[in-house]
A = this chain, B = another copy of it.
Amino acid sequence: MAKTSTRKLPPGRLKIARALKTLLGKKDFNSITTAEIAKTAGVTEGLIYKYFNDKRDLLFKVLLELFEQFLLQMEKDLKGVEGALNKLRSIIQSTLFWYDQQRVFTRILLVEVRNSPDFFKSDAYQQCVRDYSKIIMDIIHEGIDLDEIRKDIKPSVIRQVIQGSVEHVCLPAIIFNREIAVETATEDLCCTIFFGIQR
């Protein structure tokens, strides 16, 4: 398993990653300079390019690391939950909670990486994003098999609706620095997605 361990990595690398995370709490990625990252990390600019292909690659690696933590937490939350719909609710809640707590992670994922074509070749996308989607897909299939979820909608559409809704609820909160009302948002979303909007 290609786990990104925190151990064994050189201190400079860790300091650089930590520096970017810190800076992303204050300003957007584009207006952060490599000089600034190096200074915050307490290393020289050149060292960044020892460990990362370029500035964006550093961003992807930071996202990867945070995403792995998120997936771990999500699967922990999922343990012991019975029923496909309950599992989907659990995922929605875990996601909203994590997005609210880990603002830097969410900002990277929802706004900073989308525009780099390279992102979709990165480990963060190829491993984590796809993993996340797959977990949801598996639950949907399970729900269909066990007659909890309608058979006449394409599972992929159900997944898109769930993921799209969650992201769209969080986006304004992330951009305008508002908090996410995790509990109520979870209920609102589940209520809407599970039962539909028609009277």
Residues on A close to B: CB < 8 A?
28-30, 85, 110-112, 114-117, 120, 147-154, 157-158, 160-161, 163-169, 175-176, 185, 188-189, 191-199
- On whether A157 and B189 interact (CB within 8 A), knowing A120-B175, A164-B167, the answer reads yes
CB <8 Å contact, A149 and B116: no
Q: List 15 A-B contacts (CB under 8 A).
A: A28-B116, A30-B115, A150-B195, A150-B197, A153-B191, A157-B192, A160-B169, A161-B168, A163-B168, A164-B164, A164-B167, A192-B193, A192-B196, A193-B196, A194-B198
- Cα(A157)–Cα(B151), bound, Å: 25
- Cα(A120)–Cα(B178), bound, Å: 15
CB <8 Å contact, A195 and B192: no
CB <8 Å contact, A157 and B169: yes
CB <8 Å contact, B149 and A199: yes
Q: Which residues of B contact A165 (CB under 8 A)?
A: 160-161, 164-165
- Cα(A194)–Cα(B193), bound, Å: 9
Q: Which of A114, A120, A192, A193 is most buried by chain B, counting CB atoms within 10 A of its CB? A: A192
A28 is contacted by which of B115, B157, B161, B189 (Cβ under 8 Å)?
B115
Residue of B nearest to A163 (CB): B168
Q: Which residues of B contact A169 (CB under 8 A)?
A: 157, 160, 164
Q: Which of A151, A160, A176 is most buried by chain B, counting CB atoms within 10 A of its CB? A: A160
